Amino acid sequence: MSLNKKAKEKAVKELIIKAGFLSYVSLFSVVIFFLLLIRFYPDRDSERVIFLFALAMEVFSFIFFLYIRRIIGVLRGNPDVNEIIKLDGFLSFYYYPKFIFRNRKKKNPFIVPDDDEDDT
């Protein structure tokens, strides 16, 4: 496997993780704004502005969720380098927690490292 192919696979894997995180965040915001819509149903005129704002944000969050799922679908296919660059440019504007990309080495808790080599 060539070095370019490994770098491409690593970049695609990181982009899928970023997009997946954004997908969960946008789905969570759809639920939150739906709860706001239920809570601030416009019974009074003072709550109408909050209701309209929550409605607009829910529509935006749902459209963003669909767009992010489309991005994940493209990345899980066989994207070319230009698509990867374009999607990386789009996803670079959004925050994602850095702990997602930490290299975690799985350790067996039943194996104790042997520090004493001079057991005589």
Q: What is the pLDDT of residues 39-92, one digit of tens each?
A: 877 777 777 888 888 889 999 999 999 999 999 999 999 888 888 888 888 888
Q: Kindly indicate the confidence band of residue 107, based on its pLDDT and cuts at 50, 70 and 90.
A: low
Q: Is the pTM of this model over 0.85?
A: no
Neighbours of 49 (CB within 10 A): 11
Alpha carbon dihedral 26, 61, 31, 39, in 10-degree steps, equals 150
Question: Residue 101 has what pLDDT?
Answer: 60
CA 10 to chain centre: 16
Neighbours of 18 (CB within 10 A): 24
pLDDT over 70, % of the chain? 75
Question: Residue 28 has what pLDDT?
Answer: 93
Q: What residue segments make up the domains of the chain, in order of their start? A: 9-96
* Token representation of residue 36: 């706001």
pLDDT over 90, % of the chain? 22
* Token representation of residue 87: 């999607």
